[in-house]
Amino acid sequence: MGTKTAEAAGNKAGDEVDTVDEQTAGTEAEESTPEAADADVETGADSEAGPAAEETAAKASTGVGQGAAAVVSAALGLVSLTGSWVGTVGQARDSLYGQLEVASGSSVATQIKQIYADSWNVNALVAGLFALAALIVGVVVLVRPAFGNPDRVQVPWIKSVAWAGVSLGFIGLLLAAAKYSDLILAMPST
């Protein structure tokens, strides 16, 4: 008996939903008549929403490239500080060349310079190139709005990430120059 009552309640609820759907469909059909469309045109409801929606879409789409460039700038700055695969390979390769060039009877100072110092300088040079790239990309992202449409405002997170890239690039460039010139982490003297 409980099952029949539940089925009857379900059927009754289903009939009520169908009735509401029919009433809504009738209302929607009335609103979509040509007279309703003319009324919307007269009030200007669609004409104001159209350009505003297009402008919002245009503003949203223009920040994608700048956002990507800002992230690339920050990533390059981080790579300049932590090291890269390119720098490690360059350092190992220069170390190998140094080992091949050093004669067996060479002095310790010559061996240190050929095997370690030159390869260390290659690693510092690669880190400096990554830092310089981060600095340039970050600055380009920050000054880009000055050369574009003055009505378009750069999204704040893009500025923040670009500033992070510029900062990391600047720090990376200073550290690379200090490593290359032996101001920090200098090779031992003999």
Mind listing the pLDDT tens digit for each residue in 116-135? 888 889 999 999 999 999 99
3-state secondary structure of 109: helix
Q: How many residues comprise the chain?
A: 190
Alpha-carbon gap, residue 139 to 148, rounded angstroms: 15
Rounded to whole angstroms, the Cα distance separating 21 from 61 reads 38
The pLDDT of residue 100 is above 80: yes
- Residue 123 contacts residue 88 (beta carbons within 8 Å): yes
What was the pLDDT predicted at 188? 73
pLDDT tens digits along 50-96: 666 565 555 555 688 899 999 999 999 999 999 999 999 998 998 88
DSSP alpha helices (H): ranges in the chain? Answer: 2-31, 34-43, 45-82, 85-101, 108-111, 118-143, 156-180
Contact 91, 145 (CB under 8 A): no
Q: In this model, does residue 186 exceed pLDDT 80?
A: no
Burial class from Cβ neighbours inside 10 Å (0-12, 13-18, 19+) for residue 83 reads middle
Mean pLDDT in the chain? 77
0.95 exceeded by pTM: no
Q: d(Cα 157, Cα 79) in Å, to the nearest integer?
A: 21
| 166 token code pair | 């510029």
Cα gap 188→112, rounded to integer Å:
8
* CA–CA dist 31, 59 (Å, integer): 32
Give the dihedral of Cα atoms 84, 161, 174, 98; nearest 10 deg: 10
For residue 45, pLDDT over 90 is answered with no
